[in-house]
A = this chain, B = another copy of it.
């Protein structure tokens, strides 16, 4: 398998954790999201993934895109260790936590959106920073309430075993801290993310450990 990734991409980070947890070897192909206006927008990468976003996972003849679709694929093709619980209502809980990050927070705060705000809407930096903060804080407030009150939460989102929810939380917390958000205001999120990040498969997926890290 070959993963097109950028060391700081939250979505690529999720897939790197999944590949590590499943014990799958892969070739790392760095796509620099800033250099030359973004290598993800060049013809070479568009030939792999016309969307011009990372990650993409090449597995034989298949080119897979969208991080959560890739992770469900890895779960179906390499079921051990499982990244989702067994009961449908528990799976729905774990997927909902993952999607609160992947559909409610991250899409509003990723690089292309911040670039559009700056260059097209032409907002000052403090308005862009307030935007970033608003959507992380709105999302984390909801998530904190959910996680603080659900008996399924343990050392990680679902008991003590990594699930797709943790794969989304860790990169989002990393990203939030990079932008100066005080994550201690969300103690359950912080506790889960810090514990997860200490697990070897998560630690090896961290941005600083990637071949294209700067």
A77 within 8 A of B: yes
A134 within 8 A of B: yes
Contact present for B107 and A95 (CB under 8 Å): no
Contact present for B116 and A121 (CB under 8 Å): no
Residues of B within 8 A of A96 (CB): 64-66, 69
1/0 contact string of A75-118 vs chain B (CB within 8 Å): 01100000000001101100110111011101110000100100
In residues 106-137 of chain A, which contact B (Cβ within 8 Å)? 106-108, 113, 116, 120-121, 123, 127, 130-131, 134
Chain B: which residue is nearest A144 at the CB level? B50
Contact present for B103 and A103 (CB under 8 Å): yes
1/0 contact string of A4-36 vs chain B (CB within 8 Å): 000000000000000000000000000000000
Cα-based distance from A96 to B72 in the complex (angstroms): 10
Cα-based distance from A96 to B57 in the complex (angstroms): 12
Residues of B within 8 A of A89 (CB): 59, 62, 64, 73
Contact present for B68 and A95 (CB under 8 Å): yes
Chain B: which residue is nearest A117 at the CB level? B121
- Within the complex, the shortest CB–CB distance from A180 to chain B, in Å, comes to 19
Residues of B within 8 A of A98 (CB): 69
Question: With contacts A73-B89, A95-B68 known, is A50 near B142, CB below 8 A?
Answer: yes
Contact present for B100 and A103 (CB under 8 Å): no
Contact present for A50 and B108 (CB under 8 Å): no
- Within the complex, the shortest CB–CB distance from A108 to chain B, in Å, comes to 6
